[in-house]
Amino acid sequence: MNTVLILIALATIGAAAAAMSRPSLLNCVLLLTLSWTGIAAFYLWAGAEFAAFAQVLIYVGAISMAVMFAVLLTRRGRRDFPPRKGSRSRAAYAVLAGAAVAGVLLAAVARSPLAASPAPGPASTVRELGGQLMGPHAAALLVVGVLLTVALIGAVVLAAGAGPEKPEATR
């Protein structure tokens, strides 16, 4: 079954790598969405049905849309400009930051035991997941809920702050 995992991993990482190298910003977004779908496929492979569907619903359905709207509303023209070459010190910082993240991830991967078969533990049902979320992890759930609500209210305040536009007839 590890071949499936390797295929999923290759597709996910390949899509992510392609997303970084494309000049067109919207192609990047679509490739990134493909990469997120790959992560959902991995969850499915690992027996975490609920997490996989939630990943598709939230990342492919919602976050990709948010990214696309952001890209389309902030772009000046139809043409995409490839990013200009930065200074050498900037490149060095980029390599440093990338290496730090890669180091953390690699350390985590090296320490975690890799099971040979998919779904090593008993696949938990949605009811158990709900019980866990509402019981031991209720505080974390509440904090996340408050955070999202605050973000939502902030967005509404930002959007409402502009005030109604003056009608053209008054000019």
Partner 1 sequence: MSTAATPNESILERAPVLARDWLTGFLPEPARWLANSLVVIVAILLVFATVFAALTLAERKILGRVQNRPGPNRVGWFGLLQPVADGVKMLIKEDIVPRAANPVLHFLAPVVLLAASIMTFAVIPYGRHLVPVELDAALLYFFAAGSATELAVFMAGWASHNKYSLLAAMRALAQLISYELPLLLSTVPVVLAAGTLSATGIVAAQSGWKWGVVPHWLVFTPCGAAGFAIFMVSALAESNRSPFDLPEAESELIAGHLTEYSGFKYALFFMAEYFGMCAASGMAVTLFLGGWHAPLPVLEAVPSYVWFSAKFLALLLGFIWIRATMPRLRIDQLTRLAWKFMVPLALVNIGTAAFWSLTFPWAGPLQLVRWAVALGMAAGPFVLLGRGLSSGLGPRTYRYA
* Positions in the binding site for partner 1 (CB under 8 A): 26, 30, 33, 49-50, 53-54, 56-57, 60-62, 64-65, 68-69, 72, 78, 125-127, 169
List of residues 6+ apart from 122 with CB closer than 8 A: none
Give the burial class of 41: count Cβ atoms within 10 A of its Cβ; 0-12 exposed, 13-18 middle, 19 or more buried. buried
Q: What are phi and psi of 162, to 5 degrees?
A: -65, -30
CA distances from 26 to 22, 34, 88 (A): 9, 13, 27
5 vs 30, which CB is nearer to partner 1?
30
Can you tell me the distance from the alpha carbon of 16 to that of 19, in angstroms, rounded to the nearest whole number?
Answer: 5
Q: How far is the CB of 4 from partner 1 (least distance, A)?
A: 16
> Residue 139 Cβ, how far from partner 1 at the closest point, in Å?
21
Nearer to partner 1, 61 or 145 (CB): 61
DSSP for residue 56: I
**Residue 98 or 131 with smaller CB distance to partner 1:** 131
Closest CB 117 distance from partner 1, rounded Å: 18
Q: Using the minimum distance from each CB to partner 1, give the nearer residue, 8 or 32.
A: 32
